[in-house]
Structures are given as structure tokens and as C-alpha cells.
Chain A
Amino acid sequence: MTAAAAKLDVMVPLPGVVEQVTKETPDTFTLTVSRDEDSEQDVFQPGQFSMLWVFGVGELPISISGDPADRDKLVYTVRSVGKATHALVSQKPGTEIGIRGPFGTGWPMEAARGRDVIIIAGGIGLAPLRPAIYEVLRNRDRYGRLVVLYGARSPRELLYRKELAAWAQQPDTQVLVTVDYGGLGWHGHVGVVTTLFKYARLQPSKSVAMICGPEIMMRFVTRQLEEHGVTAANTYLSMERNMKCAAGFCGHCQYGPLFICKDGPVFPYTTIRPLLEKYEL
């Protein structure tokens, strides 16, 4: 198969080279991957994901966590929780991996224009939301206030700590961080992510909310958003479930009538709400 034909086949990975692996937390790493030629893979929407091949080990769906305006590289933040993710984060700079994608739906950046953007992330859920934050901060005049609410299990499990501090210094931006369990050296907020709502400067009627984290956390968060007056129509969630082919062929990520890989991973809450409440799913 020629390179041109491979570009057209969503099932064929194209090569990328690991440039850098940065440790974010004890089990989470950020990989910077360069492409050796101009590729449509370098153009992505915030919220989309790639399928990353570790040759000889397996393929993984990983959200893109880098800046969409940076066309020279792709950035992924990966939590090492199994054989394949461990192999991925153990790649040495210079190693070649395979990349398919980008796939899926992105965050509603167009719909959010002229509105406040509320970003609510839990744990590694901040990774797929980071491109949306970059997008808002780069185009500050297109959006209203940016409010970032981020919760993690403990201080040492917080992602992008330096960036969180830098974002908080940006105009018209509020960044609130909490951990479920604090330690003596932690002088920030302690409590689940929903406890940050009382400190957030929200304008619910003119806001779009984007949420990513464990499903249970997202259910708690959507309740809080509704209590604060952010409508379901202006709320979006990113889902993750067993994505394998990323093209809606294999059915592994089927979620009721939807395929997470193709119809998502970002969904309007109005679409996903009846499914989130189904015990059987």
C-alpha cells in the first residue's frame, strides 16, 4: 500500500516518532510525538482521540491533550494502568509508534463562541479538555469568561500543575483546584470537585459546560450544573468505553444506539443523559 493510500484508510496506522516522555504524576505521562511528513493527522479538534500502536504489544485509544494550533507535534497524556499503556509510556525518545486518527467528535468550540466556557475535569479527564482550554486562551476575544474546575484524588495526582497556575493568571479566567484527600503540605481546597461550585463565578444562562472524568463524577457534576442553572442543552460530556476500531465497525464501544468512537466521544448531555441513567449500560 502506498503512503497516499494509507492516508485514506482509517485502519492503517501512519508512523510517528516519540520525541519526549514527561512524567506528570507517579503513573501518568505525557508523550510528544512528531510526524515525519505533513499529515491530516496533525489537524485535530479539541476533544478528539487517536489510536496509538505500540508495535508488538497493541493499540490504544488516547485523547489528544496538546495544542490544536501546534501542527508540528501531537501530544498525549497516558495513565499507565495495564500492559499496553505501560509499554506506551515506556517508549524511549526516537522510537517509532503507529498513529491512526484523529477520530470522533470534538468539544463544541463553535457553539461556545461568545459564551462563558466552564471546564470541569476529574483526574486524567483534564487531558482531553486541555486542547479546549488552549483554544479559548489563544482566542480570548471569541469567548467569555473561562472557568476551570479540576479535581484529583490527591495533590500528587494533579496533572499540569504549572499550567494550572499559569492559566489562573490569565484575564477573565478562574481556575479552581481540589483534591479528595489532602496532605499536610497541601494548602489548597480539599473536597470533591462538586464542592468547587460554590466558589465559581458562573453566569449559567450564558455558559457552555464541558465535562470529562469518570462517569460517576460526571453524573454528580451534571446535577450540580443543573442546580446552578446551566441547561442540559449547554452541557457536553466526553465518554470513554472500550474503543477498538475507532470507526464504528467492531461494535466494542457500542453504548445503546451509539458508538462512542464514531458518534462521540464528546456528546451533548441531552443525547447521553437517558443512557447515563440506565443501570444495564
Chain B
Amino acid sequence: MVTQTLERVIEEHPFFTGLDQEFMDLVLGCASNVRFPKHSYIFKEGEPAETFYLIREGNVALEIFAPQRKPIVVQTVGIGEVLGWSWLVPPYHWKFHAHAIADTRAIALDGKCLREKCEENHDLGYEVLKRFAQIVVHRLEATRFQLIDVYSAQK
């Protein structure tokens, strides 16, 4: 019963929309429901990155810690988005702090488990990488836009 609910949630999440049932079954084996209370840290910079999250509810701030400064929030990740891709790329360590700034519910996917399944089944690997590539491209574009600092340029 729990698995069925999880399956529906994953199917309805934009990241896995349209995924073949065969792949969905493989993904499901690596998934679990998680909750993070407001102000808790989901992961911290430098820790091993073994999981990624499909956000179902709430809001997560990605923070960069700088000595003798307040943490800098570079991006927020909200409902329908994916949190974390460091599990996909060596050395598999988080590059930011992920701070739940609201009560947050998510589907956690075991990155190591999924990586192994992707190695065994390259069709699944290609499907997962295509989806992550799209996210990476959108975030790269947004980062370029952010770097232009357009509102300052109004001066």
C-alpha cells in the first residue's frame, strides 16, 4: 500500500513525468518518504552526497557558508523541483547547505542505489541523465542571468 502511494507521488512529480513503468519500478526500489521540519538542515556542505530529493511541499534554501559572514542564500528549491545532484558526480560530496525554510516533505531517492541501477541498465541511466541535464541547463541559464545582476545595471 505504501509503495503504491509512493509510486503515484513519484509518477506525478514533474521530474519523473512520462517515465516508463519498467524504469519506474527500478526507481521505486530506491525511494522513501521523508519530512524535514522548518529550520532543519537536509544536508551540509562537504558531507557525502548519497541522496537526492523530489520536493512535494515546503521550501529549501541552498546556502553557501562564508567565514565571519552570514550564510548566503543562492537559490531556493520548492514544490515540484529536484534538490541535489552531487550524488551523480564524483566525489559525491554536497557543495551547499540545504536548509528547510518551511516544513518540507519530499521523496528521498538513494543516489548510490540509483547509480548502481543506472550502471546495470544504461537505458535507465540515459533517461535519468537526460532529466538531470535539463535541470542543470535551466539552472546554468538562471545562474548566468543572476550573474548579470540586471537590477544593479539599471543604474
Contacts and interface: CB of A to CB of B under 8 A. Distances in A.
Interface residues of B, number: 28
B150 A214 contact: yes
Nearest to B62: A190
A192 B81 contact: no
Interface residues of A, number: 30
A220 B145 contact: yes
B76 interface: yes
Interface in A169-197: 180-184, 186-192, 194-195
Interface in A123-147: 123-124
A214 B154 CA distance: 6
Interface in B32-71: 59, 61, 70-71
A93 to B, nearest CB: 27
A153 B145 contact: no
Which of B75, B80, B145, B152: most chain A Cβ within 10 A? B145
Interface string A212-255: 01101100100000000000000000000000000000000000
Interface in A147-171: 151-153, 157
Contacts, number: 77
B155 A191 contact: no
A275 to B, nearest CB: 19
Interface string B1-44: 00000000000001000000000000000000000000000000
Interface in B89-126: 101-102
Contacts of B78: 189, 199
A151 B146 CA distance: 11
A194 B59 contact: no
A198 interface: yes
A217 B150 contact: yes
Nearest to B74: A190
A183 B73 contact: yes
Contact of A190 (B73, B80, B148): B73
A157 B151 contact: yes
B154 A79 contact: yes
A122 interface: yes
B154 A199 contact: no
A81 interface: yes
Nearest to A220: B145
B76 A123 contact: no
A213 B154 CA distance: 9
Contacts of A123: 150-151, 154
Contacts of B14: 198
Contacts of A187: 59, 101-102
B153 A216 contact: yes
Contacts of B70: 183-184
Given A190-B75, A190-B76, A180 B154 contact: no
Contacts of B151: 122-123, 151-153, 157, 180, 213-214, 217
15 contacts: A81-B154, A123-B150, A123-B151, A180-B146, A180-B151, A182-B61, A187-B59, A189-B59, A190-B75, A191-B75, A192-B146, A194-B141, A198-B14, A213-B151, A214-B150
Given A153-B152, A184-B70, A189-B59, 13 more contacts: A123-B150, A123-B151, A123-B154, A180-B146, A190-B75, A190-B76, A198-B80, A199-B78, A199-B79, A213-B151, A216-B145, A217-B145, A220-B145
